[in-house]
Structure 1
Amino acid sequence: MTNPDRLAVAALLLSGLLLTQTAHAVDVYLKDGRILNGKIAEISGLAERYTNPMLSAGAVRPILLVDDDLRRTFVSQRLLQAIPTANATETIEKFAVWQHVRQSGLAIASMGPIVRITPFSEYGRRILTINTPKGQVNLIQGITELTPTYAKLEGLVSEQSKFVSDMRIATNSIPPDTLDKILRGQVDENSPEERKRIASFYVQAEMYEAATKELEAIAEQFGDAVREQLEPTVRLLKQMSSRRLLKELELRRDAGQHTFVFAKLKTFPTEGVAGEILQQVSDMIAKFDNEIARRDLILKTIDGLTAKVEIEADRQKIGVVRNELQNHLNFNTLDRMTAFLQFANDESMLPQERLALAVSGWLVGSDLSIRNLPVALSMLEIRGLVRQYLTAPDALSRSQVLEQIRAQEAGSPRYVARLVRQMLPLLDLPEAAPDKPGYYALSVDGPGGMPIPYWVQVPPEYDPLRRYPVIVTLNGAGTTPEQQIDWWAGAWQEGGWRAGQASRYGYIVVAPQWTSEHQKSYDFSDREHGAVLYALRDAYRRFSIDTDRVFLTGHSMGGDAVWDIGLAHPDLWAGVIPVVATSDRYDTFYWENAELLPFYVVSGELDGDKMVKNARDLDRYLTRGYPVTVVEYRGRGHEHFSDEILRLFDWMGRYKRNFFPKEFKAKSMRPWDNFFWWVELADFPARNMVLPSDWPPASGRVVETTARATDANAIFVTSGAGRVTVWLSPEMLNFDEQVNLTINGKRVTTAASADPGGQSDSDRRNRPSRLRYVEPDLEILLEDVRTRGDRLHPFWAKVEG
């Protein structure tokens, strides 16, 4: 999408210059809010494109290809928001860089993993060492075309290298100092008009500070007349820089980094900045000041009201909440106190009633706050008991705690579910290393008691009462979980901080040790699934995680794993990101499991035959309108593709898991692929189960499950499994009305639970006996949280059939 300010700067800079190139790209608006830009083509499928393009002649073309010269992006046409339209014409600054290009020789058909890359020289040349079936090969490359978005690299004439190649890399992957030297080699430094081309290039690359610096250098070198000509452009660039800084601060604020943002706002540059921008800065500062004042007012008011409470035991319990507020009431949690603030000075209410609003609001949220102080204080006691239950080592201890919870005034599933959501994580964190803040090396016992190590990096200003999105990332062969965290969160900088994108966007990164020693390929095994899922569930117990925003990603062999694990357990993920991965084995049978699961597949054009192997499954997704994006980098092989990371975060920011879909279909071929959203399966027919050690299967039969929930409180499940359990929540049905459950064509009768779930005995006796009701069950709720770890969406009841 073209930036209007950028167009204005370009017009000022290029007036009187020969236009170098006019873009013929279009803007493609997708339903998820993304905007792709590039040349477009409609295609019938990837399989024909990579094997026999002539087969697609005259065929239906349900897939859209968007080519921005750096990469090709494929999406289903069903994902389009509107018909693609040409964007505003913009002059693209493209520098042709002379190199001694090899015109003939050996073509590179496939590129293995990169062994070594030398830095670019000031002439735009480097040596790329890659693995091939015949051993390591040095490829001498030179930049022959440089644009604000991509650089074209070609093979050069050299005794060391006989290869012809055409590779594209993102311009922002070139170090700024090196980029500047390369650009200066393409212009006459004594020509102000040619120097303006460098400034224009920087503007289009959104390197506004570099553009401003170049224009100021031009003005300094060429005198007052040029300075006067450039002053309007410099002023406009300062506005663009200021807007981008403000946008960055808004991003960091939304990521929960309030202390950082507040400090930066106080020192926001004001010289030459438009009043509109400064007003926005002033408004943000005022909002921070207001929130700080609200916090102080809450604490002061609670102190005053507590002094009026006559019962000492009540004052002590209120004091516990007051201490928590002192430590944890902040920008992330102030909304819990909305109801209390509304009535804090209402003298028509007793002090105890107002304190009840404060206590209950803090414990269960403002929308469930109450005026009954004994019940509110009961919530405080229940919260402690719930923590005991969820961390108790044995069933006997849990049953004893459960009876204590049921005896409390506030011991209903409604309040307990909200207490679980609002409370601190169940397990305390170990001390992080002083030189690596927020970085933890942890371990959890997996199946059979085998320890599963995993590593976690939390973002700056991590708050255990704020829910964070999570990236679960799997390493490939020859790399480590720690390197995966570096890829997403950035390598450690001097002073103990990371500058990566997960740190900017406020994501927790989790990297389990999912491979065995010297493992070279993915085995599709229960051990590998268990390593990922056990580590994730342990992270749920230790960190404050938004379980609706957990993304599963992996590189190479790790990408193969996430493709399979994602399809096998689609209800756990907001999205799956396989990078340089292959869809194989179970993936080809489970492809329908991707209907509700967003995928973002990244690959290299020259990464062997991966795209050919993946084409059939990708076509299944794309032609049916599944939420799948496929990206292929031009002239690239088996790499990590850090070029794509900003687009990945943009994509992740637009997706959340829907844990209660009204309808879904799922396939199973392994015993442990048995839980899909709100349906659990058991007793699979042996003839349909194929263990990885028995691959390939004798036949292609799988266990298929379909489930549907209606607005009329009816649920229908059909499955080839011998036993089906339907898990229920008020997020999917109304417990106060009749529930009709049909499993495999048979109406299921639901018996009344021992736990009335907030209904009195008389209420339950007054229900017509012919109707089927499902009662919330506190034990089921707590056991579900204990075993699944999802504190956002606990199930309240279950029915087996």
Structure 2
Amino acid sequence: MRFTFRNSDGKRMSNRVRKVRTAVLAVVFATWIIGQSGLVWAEQLISLRNGMVLRGIYLEVASMNQNAFSAGNEGGIQNRPIWVVDDGLRRTYVHRRGMVAAEPRDVPDLHERIEFFQPVPDGGEQVASIGQTLGVTPFNQFGRRRLTVRGPTGSPFPILQGITELTAKYAKVEALKTDDSINLDMRIATSSISSDQLRDIFRRNTDPDDVDARLNVVRFFAESERYADARRELVRVLDQFPESADLKPIVGQYVENEASQLLEQAELRRESGQPKLARAILDQFPTQVVSRVTQVKVADMIGSMDETQKQIDTVHQRLTELVGELQEPVQNSLGGLVAEIKSELAPATLPRMSDFIRMGGNSTMDSETRVSLAIAGWLLGNGSGETNLKIVLSLIDVRALVREYLAEQDPGKRQEILERLSSLEGARADYIAKMLPLMKPALIDAIEVDESIVEDPSVAGMLQVGLDQAGFHAAQAEDPRSLPPVSYVVQLPPEYDPNRTYPCVVAMHAAGAIAETQLNWWSGVPQKAFLQQNSSDQPSSSEAMSEEGSSDDAAEVAAQVNSPTMRLGHSIRHGFIVVAPRWTRGGQNDYEYTMREHDAVLSSLRHAMRHFAIDADRVFIAGHGSGGTAAWDIAVSHPDLWSGMISISSRPGKTLLHYNENSKYMPVYIVKGDKDGVPLRDFGAIYDRYVTYDHDAMIVLYRGRGLDFFYEEADRIFEWMKTPGHRRAAPPDDLEVVSMRDGDRFFWWMEWDEMLPGLSVNPFLWDEVERLKAAPVKARVMANNEVIITQAPSNAFKIWLYPQMPLDFNEPISVRYRSRRKDFTFDQSVGVMLEDVRVRADRERPFWGVVQIP
């Protein structure tokens, strides 16, 4: 039986859809062999415009606002534009017209829905909200645990819970009878329960002599995509019940599924910039126990990696030969860069050499031309087409001076560098704009000598930057009015290469917590064993895959690191850099909506971009609790910086009630427990503003959960961040935003010095302001090479210009505000560009010019 996964138009399906279909068909296959009854079609797959696929039962609602006085509850809203997708674990809210890409498709419901008897109270008080989670014990063999939350008085409140229903997707965990019984139906992801705990629970609650019950456990593990557990349990069933020998082919199917997971792991590592680890996994792949098809896939991937290495070796050899044919003075001028290419050419940088790979072997072209293609490709990227060796030699000097400028602190010396640049033929704005994204971070060399940047000796890839938490608090206490010093921790992915840019998460801790907690959430708690099952407890794809379970753990063999511990979580696997800034002052209990907090975060991001290879077009801001509120506010206050915002267990207020106009430029992902207060009553009106046709927004409410960390949502969050559309949006031609704070005064290409009197609101005096209203800001890039400011909260502006705007830099550009007008003619100078990159640290979108009014 062969399954091919394609859309109705014949195109290949996305990985997400293919993964869902694979799981469904595996269940169908197992059910068919075991001889179960027919399928129940009860769920839908819903494809979203952002590339995500949701699965569950959907219904349409008019509003998220459940306030008793809302128009929706009064019957004033007849339209139902919001879709709620309920998968039993959580409810995901999206706007139908703005987010849904196609009509839902029916899929089979999960087959294995296992129930457990637990002493659940018949009566008891219904829980309306739950305080912050303080701790939780593992499930014992009876499927019970103790959850401790912050009670109404602030003291710890224990809740005894038991699993009453278990599916591959979620576990229904209810409060049990105690002296103070309560009614609480909480849902947690089944993936958050370890295989060891599940096996103990099944052993305690399953009759070992009941073959059907045992097979239910097998199917449960298969639906959960824990194929190693399913295979082991099925082998035990076959040993104990020889009459079930007709099920033996399914063991082979599970082995294949395990192999597929391991292959996916290798693919993911390769795509994430970890080719050595990917190759090590493939070299240790247990091909002797998998099908011929899987063997071919492994061989194809190894062949592809070998071909890449062959191309690298060919470039090395051919470039050396061609340079050797040039005159000695030219050879000497090229020596340093050729050595750099030889040492730093890797799979991530090989695309730069595409022109040379195509044309380098063309003997009809002279050596100078072909060497020029190679050097220009390395400096400017593929497609530069530069074949003039004189200009190429100049570009080498230009890059050296650009690096020197970006690292120089002395303004006088920077001016001298600009003067030296002006004499070079290759110092053109278009050349430097292409060069900047391919350069290493400006201050990468400072990492080795800067005493404020310390590599953590106990955790691979983790660095401490600036003051520690106590020092950061002390510095702010000493001078509360000054801007806080840069202080953050950073986690780099394995095989970090400064020549390759990485997506980044700026992760904000909750008030009262430390920055390292965010590294633990996004990157995993440091541990020694590679691919050890983490908090999400996805089955290790590299477990032994023979029927006897005796093969070596390939991925374990693949990871031999010198560090005592390493993080193995999602950012590590997906190749993200995580920056966790310190942003709270000592004793701070909540987010305060201040410029001090914004500057602590933004200065940390800029510092990190100067030192680490961060892709400025793929930077996300995220946070938990008060950090989630801060991330939300900073995102909509500076929407030009982010590819998206993730806010977990936040409580929006103040400016977030007024900044919705800014949010439409940026994807939003909000996660909350439906018992964290009463979210749809307290914040439903705010959520309604995001679930509209012009927003890329997903709002997720977990069933029966309070103020929590929601580790199990990380898988979906990384999938969301990696969708192709979630890159930093192009600068808008028609700019419409709002502002009501002095610090919120830079939006894409428009900046002002200070706000007019009465328009800026001090966050600490928020409740004393009689009329809270955000100041509108409107400006537009016109078709006649003109920028018009139509509405603004100031009389003094800077309009920053760059080619991504629909402007012709070869013609005069006009900027108008009311009766004022200023013309700008680009003179090919690069001073504005280099100073902008030095200050903002954004090498992807440097400004080429600036116009100031007045």
In the superposition, the TM-score normalised over structure 1's length comes to: 0.93
**1-structure distance, mates of 2:570, 2:38:** 34
CA contact (8 A) 1:71 1:632 kept: yes
Q: Secondary structure at the match of 1:426?
A: coil
Structural mapping, 1:195-594, within 5 Å: 195-223=214-242, 225-227=243-245, 229-312=246-329, 314-427=330-443, 428=445, 429-430=447-448, 432-443=455-466, 448=482, 450-494=484-528, 495-594=564-663
Question: Which residue matches 2:808?
Answer: 735
- Please say if 1:152 is aligned against 2:172: yes
Shift of the alpha carbon at 1:752?
A: 3.1
**1-structure distance, mates of 2:608, 2:431:** 24
**1-structure distance, mates of 2:208, 2:89:** 29
Question: Which residue matches 2:158?
Answer: 138
**2-structure distance, mates of 1:9, 1:63:** 31
CA contact (8 A) 2:67 2:681 kept: no
**2-structure distance, mates of 1:672, 1:167:** 41
Q: Secondary structure at the match of 2:708?
A: coil
- Please say if 1:750 is aligned against 2:827: no
Change (3 A) 1:356 1:260: same
Question: Which residue matches 1:708?
Answer: 780
What is the number of residues matched between the two proteins? 776
CA contact (8 A) 1:74 1:630 kept: yes
**1-structure distance, mates of 2:646, 2:99:** 21
**1-structure distance, mates of 2:703, 2:41:** 19
- 1:192-217: CA deviation from partner (whole Å, max 9, x where unpaired): 22211111111111111111111111
- Please say if 1:796 is aligned against 2:813: no
**2-structure distance, mates of 1:590, 1:480:** 28
Q: Secondary structure at the match of 1:88?
A: strand
CA contact (8 A) 2:149 2:158 kept: yes
Shift of the alpha carbon at 1:245?
A: 2.1
Change (3 A) 1:243 1:662: farther
What letter corresponds to residue 443 of structure 1 in structure 2?
Answer: G
Q: 4+ runs of 1 displaced by more than 6 Å?
A: 49-53, 444-447
Question: Which residue matches 2:798?
Answer: 725
CA contact (8 A) 2:49 2:100 kept: yes
Question: Which residue matches 1:698?
Answer: 770
Structural mapping, 1:45-60, within 5 Å: 45-48=63-66, 54-56=73-75, 59-60=78-79
What letter corresponds to residue 303 of structure 1 in structure 2?
Answer: T
Change (3 A) 1:51 1:173: farther
Shift of the alpha carbon at 1:184?
A: 3.0
Change (3 A) 1:239 1:663: farther
- 1:238-267: CA deviation from partner (whole Å, max 9, x where unpaired): 222222222222221111111011111122
- 1:577-618: CA deviation from partner (whole Å, max 9, x where unpaired): 111101100111111110111111110111124443321111
Change (3 A) 1:749 1:516: closer
- 1:15-41: CA deviation from partner (whole Å, max 9, x where unpaired): 566659835111111111111111111
Change (3 A) 1:276 1:15: closer
Shift of the alpha carbon at 1:497?
A: 1.4
Q: Secondary structure at the match of 2:712?
A: helix
CA contact (8 A) 2:456 2:464 kept: no
CA contact (8 A) 2:812 2:825 kept: no
Shift of the alpha carbon at 1:295?
A: 1.2
**2-structure distance, mates of 1:8, 1:752:** 64
Q: Secondary structure at the match of 2:260?
A: helix
Tell me how large the CA RMSD over aligned residues is. 2.2
CA contact (8 A) 1:780 1:795 kept: yes
Shift of the alpha carbon at 1:738?
A: 3.9
* Worse-matched range after superposition: 82-91 or 462-471: 82-91
Structural mapping, 1:606-617, within 5 Å: 606-617=675-686
**1-structure distance, mates of 2:355, 2:104:** 48
Q: Secondary structure at the match of 2:645?
A: strand
- 1:418-475: CA deviation from partner (whole Å, max 9, x where unpaired): 2221111111224634432211111289994642211000001111011100000111
**2-structure distance, mates of 1:459, 1:185:** 41
Change (3 A) 1:664 1:76: farther
Change (3 A) 1:86 1:368: closer
Question: Which residue matches 1:760?
Answer: none
Question: Which residue matches 1:641?
Answer: 710
Shift of the alpha carbon at 1:57?
A: 7.2
Shift of the alpha carbon at 1:189?
A: 1.3
Question: Which residue matches 2:830?
Answer: 778
Change (3 A) 1:396 1:524: same
Q: Secondary structure at the match of 1:661?
A: coil
Question: Which residue matches 1:771?
Answer: none
Change (3 A) 1:311 1:491: same
**1-structure distance, mates of 2:675, 2:97:** 28
CA contact (8 A) 2:376 2:384 kept: yes
Change (3 A) 1:8 1:540: closer
Change (3 A) 1:26 1:531: same
* Worse-matched range after superposition: 489-498 or 715-724: 715-724
Q: Which has the higher contact order (CA 8 A, sep 6+)?
A: 2
CA contact (8 A) 1:551 1:577 kept: yes
**2-structure distance, mates of 1:188, 1:573:** 54
Shift of the alpha carbon at 1:89?
A: 2.5
**1-structure distance, mates of 2:149, 2:822:** 64
**2-structure distance, mates of 1:475, 1:376:** 47
Shift of the alpha carbon at 1:112?
A: 1.0
- Please say if 1:166 is aligned against 2:147: no
**1-structure distance, mates of 2:715, 2:496:** 22
CA contact (8 A) 1:24 1:86 kept: no
Question: Which residue matches 2:208?
Answer: 189
CA contact (8 A) 1:583 1:613 kept: no
- 1:717-757: CA deviation from partner (whole Å, max 9, x where unpaired): 3232212322121122343554654534557342434xx32
In the superposition, the TM-score normalised over structure 2's length comes to: 0.87
- Name stretches of at least 5 consecutive residues in structure 1 with no aligned partner: 758-776
Change (3 A) 1:610 1:49: closer
**1-structure distance, mates of 2:137, 2:778:** 54
CA contact (8 A) 1:17 1:193 kept: no
* Worse-matched range after superposition: 131-140 or 647-656: 131-140
CA contact (8 A) 1:13 1:196 kept: no
Change (3 A) 1:219 1:375: same
CA contact (8 A) 1:23 1:92 kept: no
**1-structure distance, mates of 2:721, 2:820:** 40
Shift of the alpha carbon at 1:713?
A: 4.3
- Please say if 1:26 is aligned against 2:44: yes
Which among 733, 737, 747 is matched to residue 662 of structure 1?
733
CA contact (8 A) 1:729 1:797 kept: yes
* Worse-matched range after superposition: 488-497 or 511-520: 488-497
Change (3 A) 1:321 1:416: same
